[in-house]
Structure 1
Amino acid sequence: MNRIYYVIAFLAGTMLYSCDDDFLNRVPLDQISDPEFWNSTGDMELFLNTFYDTFDGWPPSGGGSAPTKDRGTDIALPAINVFGASWTPRLDGAINVPASASNQYWSWVNIRNINYFLDNVDRVQTRTNMTDHYIGEGHFFRAWFYYEMMKSFGALPIINRAVNESDEDILYAPRNNRTEVFNFILSDLEIAISKMRHSHQLATPGTRLSKDIALMFKARACLYEGTWEKYHRGTPFEGQTDGRGFLQQAADAALQIIDGGNFSLVTGDTSRVYADLFNRTNYAGVREVIFYKHYDRETHGNTFGNQLWNWPNAYGYTYEATKFFLSKDGLPIAVSPHFVGDATLDLVQVNRDPRLAQTVMVPTDIRRIQGTDTTFFLRPDVLNSGTGIESRKFRHIVVDPAVGIQNHNVDYIFMRLPEAMLVYAEAKAELGTLTQGDVDKTINRIRDRVGMPHLMLNNITPDPNWPNYGYALPDYLHEIRRERTVELFAEGFRFDDLMRWRAHNYWVGTRFVGTFATPELIAMAPAVPRNQAGFFDPYQNALSGPGSTFGFNPNRDYLMPLPTNELTLNTNLGQNPGW
């Protein structure tokens, strides 16, 4: 109990200071550390366990919904009754310079705490075969925290040890450029990969950090930074390279996951296998899933979301998002003879990639199974979805009689094998080294699962509806981006993808809409705006650009502003471009 007390006291103390004070003026670590804590490897594990809640799964159920993390992008909009609250304002450029830092903004609490951990691991006397693994976890967490901050702020001061008030050379240092920061992240990941065990060697595979998770994170991060440095070259947000070195590392790390033999795709009935993957109450033993968070009401109580009664969970998918899904013959809907229309929900899934019908709710889908009673989906709740295109993905429809419709036991996936496959394909495509063999071992394996035709590099039909990113792309890269959008739909990747691709030309000056507003749906939700073509248009009066379109400023909004008081406290930091 004494050890638990000191860990909680230390972390609570640093969070308390972070709320109202700058990280430069903290109580020195040597005044709050426990000299008797660092005795065993078990102490290391106990300290690290406090960081696992930073992996954000389902939100608290008190918010009344469990929205996708892609809400507020081009593929998912918030319901009309939550504008100005939890939607993503970054695409609209609706950000103000904050006066001060907070736990959610320019916060160094986690980095400071993990530096404290890494500073003290050599004090552990009783070492086991897990000691090095936990040291690896420490380096993973520091890489993770720095990566999340780098995506928001770009250049950062590199601080690799716990500091106190006498370390003025560190506390008042300028920011390192983003490439230096990313190389620091990579150095931590290399240590993590070298020290950590594979998932199957751990007591709780998939929920404890592992070598596999670190490799997947390296692949994800290298793809992000490689494409960022490629597409932002010559802009105020550029790095120091052309991105190729990072892209090669992304491909190499992803290939280790793909060829490592520890993970494989879930297969089954092509009409339901994709949907069934995302509504499970336990991913233990599911070999496609690399990293997930397990929920059970005995442990977590009623403090998290994805309860059946909340659906549609205050968001809806966009009409434009459905257009990414091909026809069943593998052709774009603009040229396929099988395409029968997509304006209304009864048509949108007909003759399409099976993943579309397994992602969105269409009439005759099952809404709920409760004992012997089955409730079917007939029409959407437009007011509470915003667009009328509700999600089937993540919806656990079988009611646990012990819990009722306030079910909480739905796990949350952070990483799975198809991400590694799509990282590999995209990185190779960006490098100009993609082969048909690469496509066959990645994209075509993903398509096989749902019975879709293969992507053939020598036979790609141009799509008149390919997004206009503001620059030319080869056909195969358009199709790889499409496949990524479809397979990883609503899993939290979309905002980062748009940022790293420098894709503002695609969304600036436009709005994304919902399904066609039939008379029946209008009668149910007369308050939801509609456009001149008759589609639900929930953002019609909500955006800051001309004519209520996305007002993103490409010379400013790719990075967040630093708080005013931080710039006053350390004049060497410098504000981000355009702010």
Structure 2
Amino acid sequence: MKIKHSYIFGMLAAALLSCNNEYLERYPIAELAPENYFRSAAELQNYTNAFYNRLPDALAIHYNNPNQADDEARNTLAAEIQGTRETPSSGGGWDWAELRRINFYLENSHNCADEAARLQYDGIARFFRAYFYFDKLVRFGDVPWYDSVLEIDDEGLTKARDSRKVVFANMLEDIDFAIANCQEPKSGQLITKWTALALKSRMCLFEGTFRKYHGLGDAEEILQQCVAASEALINSGTYTIYTSDPNTAYQELFIAEDAITSEMILARQYDASVPFVHSANFYILSASYGRPGLQKSVVNSYLMKDGSRFTDIPGYGTMQFFEETQNRDPRMAQTIRTPGYKRIGRNEVSVPDFATSVTGYQYVKYVLAPAFDSGQSTNDMPIFRYAEVLLNFAEAKAELGTITQTDIDKSIKLLRDRVGMPNLDVAAVNANPDPYLLQEYPHVETGTNTGVLLEIRRERRIELVKEGHRYRDLMRWKEGARLAKPFYGMYFPGAGEYDLDHDGTIDLVIYQGQAPAAVPGRQYQRLGELVLENGENGGRIVNMPDIIKRWDEDKDYFYPIPTQELQLNTNLQQNPGWEDTGS
């Protein structure tokens, strides 16, 4: 039974209000004017509830391109992944209405005589201002910093962009205020001290590594703040890694009706009785909505069950589905369909469905019983979870060059323990860095710590797959060129009949020419429509082979500022490389 928090209804109200331009651009209507409002804790809560609408919904978390970046292939590609972005005339993420609402609140909350309540809700507002600017910083780099409400004739409307260092310093002030003043009791749906620590951990890891790999300087101090925020959350003992059966625990996190708050720091809540539902089942299993599938490079990244590297096995690149899925990290079978998979609510074994997955590696993460297939899923969706904080901590320590085995034991080890995997051995991986991962990440810092850096990136990719982190990870590591590489699926030696799960029955027929007579229970794919990289001679499935993807190292790490904004404010300067791209 879900507990419905009032902020859900605040979010819905905010969504409706967002259609009212008058509300966005002017002071609120009379009963919300500052002289008549913000006088009680209840009024502060009601106003700040609307800020929760800024948080990502299920679609943004598990589906939106380019969030999944090079982890996922589908039959539609975002402009960021194709390399076809152009400068828009308007929009493009250069929106400030939400910031105005936050600043309006912060300018007027002093009307409330209840200081404890004011500090708590000011903390929430400043959390959301840091969250707002984090998105702007990631997207545009330098942006104007505004901490007050501007009127139509205010000179601040035509200011130049502030440097990312100035913006980030202000973000740190906001998030530190939130940490100090938000409520301490944890909640899976409300902003707390722990949510603020998790955001600080996330944004400091991003900014520290972005500065490091893009040569901007001052990276170490920011990475140390990531370590401090992560460690404060870890040492508090407030959260733990959820465990049950190693073969089911990871998947259980993402199919739970109610967020498992031992690990989920903040989740987007869904409830059919409101109604407030999402469509994860439909997006993952429909033949008409992108047919998403995990990429081959992710499958290659899963370790063997004994902790050894799959890509060290001779001939790993031409292994077929059954062989490549045996004795792997149990998170693989809890992320995609593997031999023996039984869907929730069904007793029969199901193989991957090529009609709904372009790579053959079909997701099970987030997938509920068939009753939810029509777009009525109600499992809560992760926004911040403790596993990410552990990964942030380990990565920041590794990038600083200070990581020890003890650090791994209190971070990465907990994630591997959940699924019964051996611990990461710092000395062993540094002595023998994975050559496959070195090819995946050519810009990684090389030296005595390279092996553990690569292994933490492996762990992050596997643990957080399909949670919306990958695109930003590639941007901060300066590995955007990965998006221009082909996206691959399963390997097949050519046309033929395939028993995918080795149960003695044919599951898939890849044919040439005329379609064979259909046999119940078999899937049929025409060679050429199912494209193999070597044609008749087989190979990996190639996703969208006719699309040429491009990546421009000089401009594609940032988005362009819309042309209308540049015309309205001549003090703004376009991001490098975007000056000549038309809308």
- The answer to whether 1:219 aligns with 2:210 is no
Which residues of 2 match residues 60-459 of structure 1 at below 5 A? 67=63, 73-78=69-74, 80=75, 83=76, 87-101=77-91, 105-125=93-113, 127=114, 129-168=116-155, 170-200=156-186, 205-233=187-215, 238=216, 241-283=217-259, 286-301=261-276, 304-307=278-281, 311=285, 314-336=291-313, 343-369=319-345, 373-378=346-351, 380-397=352-369, 406-459=375-428
Q: Equivalent residue for 2:563?
A: 564
**Match of residue 487 from structure 2:** 512
Matched position secondary structure for 1:298: coil
Q: Partner letter of residue 179 of structure 1? A: K
2:10–2:46 contact (8 Å) kept in structure 1 = no
Match of 2:533 in 1: 531
Instruction: Specify the code of the residue in structure 2 equivalent to 1:96.
Output: E
Show the counterpart of 2:459. Answer: 483
Q: Aligned letter for 1:570?
A: N
Contact persistence 2:434–2:454 (CA under 8 A)? no
The SS at the match of 1:366 is: coil
User: Residue 439 of structure 1 contacts residue 455 of structure 1 at CA under 8 Å; is this kept in 2?
Assistant: yes
CA–CA separation in structure 2 for the residues paired with 1:152 and 1:426 = 22
In structure 2, how many angstroms separate the alpha carbons of the residues matched to 1:242 and 1:40? 42
Are the equivalent residues in 1 in contact too, given 2:250–2:419 (CA < 8 A)?
yes
Q: Deviations over 1:360-380 (max 9, x none)?
A: 1123201241xxx524312x2
1:535 Cα offset (Å): 1.9
Give the % identical residues.
30
1:406-441, Cα deviation, whole Å (9 max, x unpaired): 542211011111111111110011111111110111
- Partner of 1:430, secondary structure, is helix
Q: Distance in 1 between matches of 2:568 and 2:341?
A: 57
Q: Distance in 1 between matches of 2:308 and 2:475?
A: 28
Give the counterpart letter for 2:102 in structure 1: I
**For the residues of structure 2 that align with 1:11 and 1:266, how far apart are their CA atoms?**
33
Q: Shift of the alpha carbon at 1:344? A: 3.0
- State the distance in 2 between where 1:309 and 1:375 align: 22
**Structure 1, residues 133-172: CA drift from partner, whole Å, max 9, x if none?**
111000001111111111111101111011102312x111
Helix, strand or coil: the match of 2:101? Answer: helix
CA contact (8 A) 1:470 1:506 kept: no
> What is the identity, as a one-letter code, of the residue corresponding to 2:225?
Q
Structure 1 gap segments, 5+ residues each: 543-547
Residue type of the alignment partner of 1:374: N
Instruction: State the secondary structure of the residue aligned to 2:149.
Output: coil
- 1:287 partner amino acid: S
TM-score of the pair, normalised by structure 2 = 0.84
1:545 is aligned to none
TM-superposed CA distance for 1:49, in Å, is 1.4
Q: Distance in 2 between matches of 1:243 and 1:191?
A: 22
**Partner of residue 40, structure 1:** 40
**Given residue 235 of structure 2, which amino acid in structure 1 is its aligned partner?**
D
CA distance in 1, matches of 2:14, 2:359: 46
Q: Give 1:117 deviation, angstroms.
A: 1.1
Answer yes or no: is the 8 Å Cα contact 2:270–2:276 preserved in 1. no
Q: Distance in 2 between matches of 1:534 and 1:570?
A: 53
Amino acid at match of 1:131: R
CA separation of 1:470/1:363 partners in 2, compared to 1, >3 Å: closer, same or farther?
A: closer
Normalised to the residue count of structure 1, the TM-score between the two structures is 0.85
Q: What SS does structure 2 have at the residue aligned with 1:59?
A: helix
Contact 2:264 2:385 in 1 (8 A): yes
Give the superposition deviation at 1:504.
3.1
State the SS of the aligned residue for 1:479: helix
**Letter aligned with residue 568 of structure 2:** L
Aligned equivalents of 1:470, 1:301: Cα separation in 2: 43
Alpha-carbon distance change, 521 to 566 in structure 1, aligned in 2, over 3 angstroms: farther
How far has the Cα of 1:521 moved from its partner? 5.1
CA contact (8 A) 2:184 2:193 kept: yes
Verify the 8 A CA contact 1:71 1:77 in the aligned structure 2.
Answer: no
Q: Secondary structure at the match of 2:426?
A: coil
Rounded to whole Å, the distance in 2 between the matches of 1:207 and 1:258 is 20
Which residue in the other structure is 1:522 paired with?
510
Q: 2:254 & 2:308 partners in 1: Cα distance?
A: 26
